[in-house]
Structure 1
Amino acid sequence: MLYWLVIIPIIIAVINIGFIHSDSRKLIVGSQIGITLYTTYLFFNVRSQGTIINNMAGYPRAFSITLYADRISIVLVWLTTLLFLGLLIYAYSGDYFDSQFGFLYLTLQALIIALFLSTDLFNIYVLLEVSTVVVAILIMLRKDRQAVYDGMIFLFISVIASSFWLFGVGFLYRTFGHLDLHAISEVITEVENPRSLILPFAFIMTTISLKIALFPLSSWLPKAYGTPSAPPVIPAILSGVYETTGLYLFIRLTAMFSQVIELNTFFLVIGFVTSIVGFTLAVAQNDLRLLLAYSTISQVGLMTVGFSFGAEASYWGAMYHMFAHSLFKTVLFLSVGVLSHHYKTRDIHKIRGVMKTLPVTGFAIIFGLLGITGAPLFNGSISKYMISYGSDSPYIQLLLNLINLGTLLYSMKFAAMLFGKNTQPDDIKGQDTRHDVPQWTTLTFGVLTLISGLFGNRLLQFLYGYDFTIYPGEYLEKSFIYLLLVLAAFALYKGWVKERDLFSKIGYIELSFNAMITALVAFFIGIVGYMYWLT
């Protein structure tokens, strides 16, 4: 049953590139609609009847290829199919939508779905490696010099990081004799010496930490997301869906090891540092894609904080923020694609008057920014409200407010494009954009950020089966704090951030390839040293 979610996109991808020599876009869109409907059926099946487990050939779970769909994984698979369908509609008229793009697009979808459903750690390694190659090719699709450089950096650093995963898997196989993460969870407490699990945990978590771009392992992400020639749907896929696979693995693996190894404090600190560094570098960017790339790093740090508090409400708040982030970040990346097409630039200072010239995209941007900043009634406000439940410490609350202040700062810098005199090139001015499908697709995602906020509590229960009571008094208090942060951010933006040269030097800080590898090794040593110190 679950295997069709992986097999069908692969079959369509092969038919697309191998047997159809004319335009195959209708076939691809049709297959996406079918996959989305089938995933919807499976979601309601899991919701009503419980977890679905498919063991290949009927072998026991620990010794067969197993696909596992519970309330967490099936929601992410459903979200993946919905986003891929929406992005396909956005890209339908793009000149880059050829048979090669269709093949890579469908293959990546199958790999991402398999990552959410697979429970075998070696199979996950294979899926990570193949998806890395596919993403690298998508980044290099236009074959220009910068795209090839960025794609190769992403490929090499990801492959080296994945070798850490392989070492960790080897240690676990020697200890348990199998690699199914659920089967390991059932017997992991029987290990006589828990310290023997330190090395495999450190190896695996180093790979995951790089994949989700935790500090200081985040320098690859702006290169991958910010490639100038990459089609606009590529960074939207990477931020909205591909990044979520790393967070999903973070959830699963920390849960598996948590019975013998608990590093919530470590990742709590790393999460806060990642988020603060991310928004600082985002504010410093003039390139729209790079601003959103560093914004993704900041949001990942916030979700890591939510998962590391150890509180139930914060955990599900971070889970809902994954869902919300996929929506509002997709809106913003697709908006950048529209703007760069109509304004012929991605320089944030050269784009003005969007609300007058492209009002549909302008409203989509407003929805996306209100979502990412956690404005009342939008999805980010629900998830951030829940994450803040993780601690009563005033210092923690101060840090969370600092993160939101930073988010407001780069959002205001982004929003400055909406107003002012039209800066479109003369050959673009006056074009009729009322029936522009990419714009309306972007706005649709924007509206979803509002709907998933207005009905956030019900949607949380519908998706994950988790009931959370939002108290009006506390929500109003959070809304008042948000308004104060908006005023503070506006004052900071007008006083300092608006000056282009203020963060110019910070904006160009990035690690070389050798420095990235050094940071990777140092991160691994840091985890190992910290765990041995604790024990």
Structure 2
Amino acid sequence: MSLSTAAAGSLLPLAVAIPLIGAVLAPLLARWSRHAALIGCLVGMGGALAVLALVAPKVFGGTILVHYLGGWKPVGGAALGIAFAADPFGLLCALSIAGIGLLLLVYVLSELGGLGPRELGGFACLFELLLSALIGAALTGDLFNLFVWFQVAALSSYGLTGFFLERPIALEAAFKILVLTTLAGFTVFIGAGLLYVHTGALNFGQLHLALPAAAGVLDAVALGLLLAGFATKAGLVPFHGWLADAHTAAPGPVSALFSGLMVNLGLIGISRLALQVFPGSGLPVLGALMVVGLCSAVLGAALALAQDDFKRVLAYDTVSQMGVITVGFASGSTTGVTGAVYHLVNHALFKSLLFLCAGAIVHRTGQTSLRALGGLARKAPAITVAFTIGAASIAGVPPFNGYVSLSLIHKGLTETHQDVPYAIMLVAQLLTVGALGRATWLAFFRREPQDTEIEAPLPSHERLRPGMAVGLVGLSSCCIAFGVLPQRILRYLMEPAAGGLLEAGRYAAAELRSGGTIVPTHVSFDYADWQELAITIITLALAALGVRAYLRARRDPAPLRLLRSLHTGSANDYTAYAVLGLVVLVAALRWG
């Protein structure tokens, strides 16, 4: 028996409330049993996933579910209450957060289950609280409510980053993320306030209808503030200063949570603003995002190539991948936006997988330096296979998932004759393949250095714990499945999600009428596209030659040395970069 639209919509708050209850109970359960806290969190996240899966057929069938808390429904086109709105894009994000979050919790149960009851209870509470906030952000239909979930996620991230306070790097990283995301939260709050003053609206649908066709100075300033705030959460250049330190300091599962899922909150906000709220405002929002995305894609990949720390390589690659997704959204084309949605999910899968692998290696060897590692393919074959799958996925190697989404983004640029962005994207992809290929070679496939003493060598006989194996196998399997079944994934998931983003008018009407429908996009994907296959082969070959030359070089090229010199590690410098980026972004929106 299928649920009615009203009944399905009324279930949406449970997807957030159930894991929130799990987070609250975690410290109490930990007093009874160390494992009870994480098991309670597993039940909570499993409950959220079940609720989302229950409404998924209706939403991906083209229905937008809307539920106004307290029954405060819109009156005369004005939204008086806070809305949860599950369009296909938001539900897809929420499902990926709940599903991957569940795998991460299983992994944590094995890797960190030996913590003391008090510590494990606090850790589980913060972990589940962050996941709850991300699900809430994906399902909200209100700008101020999005700000609230932004803040809840930020508070959780501070605690998780600095959780192991005995490590000085953890406390320093927590301070940096505190400074940068507090600034970001302030800009989001002020931007939302300015829009409310001008339009009297905070609901996404009402904002879309209330904004004039020729937006003025106030709207440009508000949009610039909002985009800068969400770009900080997404780790886009030049708002990315917090990201590498936070990822490096945190344990592997937390880094996976940050890089695979938390940064998506920023892109959720950016995509909704650009495609569902401001598409008819006359502001050059897509052009500004295209520049930010291209800079992030290239500079993030270049910084990843120049790193020796295992997790910093992956962290800066996250900056690059966030840029790639932003370029897809900014292309404005049906194919490009569909590819961006696909890559958003793919990134959550393969980056979570890579950080779990890196965290496991660092946890058991005590080494973070790539040059001090080596020979892990023999000592840790399971981790080697999982890491190689993740790296090949990012590299866009068929039949893994990254090949599909990258091909669609590239096709979206060529269809709209954006040749310069397309060329820059190919450069970014070349650098990305080089950075991940270098890390894979140094850590896994070359011989172990004889002149380096590893603090806690990884025994060749040691096996992964069951929960850790479940996490790695689950994520690896998804990377493969999303690559070998692209037509089904596109038809049932990605095309409805992209259609919801591109049908701003339908989304607005649905929010203000407590429900509605959308029309899915239709894109084609061909594995045998000779141009994309040729580009992939050429990219892999050039990257291999480049990495070989880079490893033999005595020093980094001048551009890389300049980039590294700008990343001083100072919170003051990173704040200055963010403020400068905000000013430039507002100016581009106003006079671009």
TM norm structure 1? 0.94
Which residue matches 2:297? Answer: 275
Pick the aligned partner of 1:330 from 340, 352, 356: 352
Structure 1: how far apart are the matches of 2:39 and 2:238? 43
Pick the aligned partner of 1:51 from 34, 55, 64: 64
Shift of the alpha carbon at 1:107?
1.1
Which residue matches 1:412? Answer: 437
Shift of the alpha carbon at 1:276?
0.9
Shift of the alpha carbon at 1:313?
0.3
Structure 1: how far apart are the matches of 2:15 and 2:351? 25
Structure 2: how far apart are the matches of 1:155 and 1:425? 32
What CA deviation, in whole Å up to 9, does each residue of 1:102-138 have, x standing for no partner?
1111111111111111122222222212211110100
Pick the aligned partner of 1:471 from 526, 529, 532: 526
Structure 2: how far apart are the matches of 1:393 and 1:100? 49
User: Contact 1:235–1:333 (CA<8 Å) still a contact in 2?
Assistant: yes
C-alpha spacing 1:456/1:45, structure 2 compared with 1 (3 Å): same
Deviates more, 1:333-342 or 1:116-125: 116-125
Paired residue type of 1:523 = G
Pick the aligned partner of 2:25 from 15, 35, 39: 15
C-alpha spacing 1:364/1:347, structure 2 compared with 1 (3 Å): same
What CA deviation, in whole Å up to 9, does each residue of 1:9-53 have, x standing for no partner?
121222222355122133222333232222211212312361110
User: Percent identity, aligned pairs only?
Assistant: 22
Secondary structure of 1:189 counterpart? coil
Secondary structure of 2:525 counterpart? coil
Which residue matches 1:533? Answer: 591
Secondary structure of 1:67 counterpart? strand
User: Contact 2:18–2:45 (CA<8 Å) still a contact in 1?
Assistant: no
Structure 1 residue 252 and structure 2 residue 265: aligned? no
Shift of the alpha carbon at 1:498?
4.7
Structure 2: how far apart are the matches of 1:394 and 1:88? 43
Which residue matches 2:548? Answer: 494
Shift of the alpha carbon at 1:436?
4.9
Which residue matches 1:65? Answer: 82
Structure 2: how far apart are the matches of 1:14 and 1:54? 24
Structure 2: how far apart are the matches of 1:234 and 1:190? 43
Shift of the alpha carbon at 1:526?
1.4
User: Contact 2:130–2:153 (CA<8 Å) still a contact in 1?
Assistant: yes
C-alpha spacing 1:133/1:472, structure 2 compared with 1 (3 Å): closer
What CA deviation, in whole Å up to 9, does each residue of 1:393-447 have, x standing for no partner?
5433322211111011001111112213356667642433165541452133122
Deviates more, 1:457-466 or 1:310-319: 457-466
C-alpha spacing 1:289/1:500, structure 2 compared with 1 (3 Å): farther
Structure 1 residue 85 and structure 2 residue 115: aligned? no
Paired residue type of 1:441 = G
Structure 1 residue 177 and structure 2 residue 197: aligned? no
Pick the aligned partner of 2:567 from 507, 510, 513: 510
Structure 2: how far apart are the matches of 1:3 and 1:437? 29
User: Contact 1:360–1:443 (CA<8 Å) still a contact in 2?
Assistant: no
Structure 1: how far apart are the matches of 2:538 and 2:20? 50
Shift of the alpha carbon at 1:529?
2.2
What CA deviation, in whole Å up to 9, does each residue of 1:202-241 have, x standing for no partner?
21112122222222111111111111xx221111001111
User: Contact 1:56–1:66 (CA<8 Å) still a contact in 2?
Assistant: yes
Which residue matches 1:231? Answer: 251
Structure 1: how far apart are the matches of 2:304 and 2:591? 35
Structure 1: how far apart are the matches of 2:432 and 2:331? 21
C-alpha spacing 1:426/1:147, structure 2 compared with 1 (3 Å): closer
Paired residue type of 1:232 = G
Structure 2: how far apart are the matches of 1:447 and 1:399? 31
Structure 1: how far apart are the matches of 2:29 and 2:379? 42
1:131-530 equivalent positions in 2, closer than 5 A: 131-143=153-165, 144-189=167-212, 194-227=216-249, 230-255=250-275, 256-260=277-281, 261-389=283-411, 390-391=413-414, 392-416=417-441, 417-422=443-448, 428-433=458-463, 436-464=466-494, 465=496, 466-473=521-528, 475-499=529-553, 501-502=555-556, 505=561, 506-507=563-564, 509-511=566-568, 512-530=570-588
Secondary structure of 1:226 counterpart? helix
Gap regions ≥5 residues in structure 1: none
Structure 1: how far apart are the matches of 2:220 and 2:130? 32
Structure 2: how far apart are the matches of 1:34 and 1:179? 30
User: Contact 2:294–2:421 (CA<8 Å) still a contact in 1?
Assistant: no
User: Contact 1:208–1:249 (CA<8 Å) still a contact in 2?
Assistant: yes
Q: Over aligned residues, Cα RMSD in angstroms?
A: 2.1
Which residue matches 1:128? Answer: 150
Structure 1: how far apart are the matches of 2:140 and 2:552? 47
Pick the aligned partner of 1:40 from 50, 53, 58: 53
User: Contact 2:297–2:324 (CA<8 Å) still a contact in 1?
Assistant: yes
Secondary structure of 1:304 counterpart? helix
Paired residue type of 1:479 = L
User: Contact 1:457–1:467 (CA<8 Å) still a contact in 2?
Assistant: no
User: Contact 1:364–1:447 (CA<8 Å) still a contact in 2?
Assistant: no
Deviates more, 1:497-506 or 1:257-266: 497-506
Paired residue type of 1:463 = L
C-alpha spacing 1:513/1:296, structure 2 compared with 1 (3 Å): same
Structure 1: how far apart are the matches of 2:580 and 2:437? 36
User: Contact 1:357–1:422 (CA<8 Å) still a contact in 2?
Assistant: no
User: Contact 2:234–2:266 (CA<8 Å) still a contact in 1?
Assistant: yes
Structure 1: how far apart are the matches of 2:546 and 2:457? 37
User: Contact 1:331–1:443 (CA<8 Å) still a contact in 2?
Assistant: no
Paired residue type of 2:440 = A
Q: Which one has more relative contact order, counting CA pairs under 8 Å at least 6 apart?
A: 2
Structure 1: how far apart are the matches of 2:434 and 2:223? 37
What CA deviation, in whole Å up to 9, does each residue of 1:160-217 have, x standing for no partner?
22111121111111122231111111222377x6343112112111212222222211
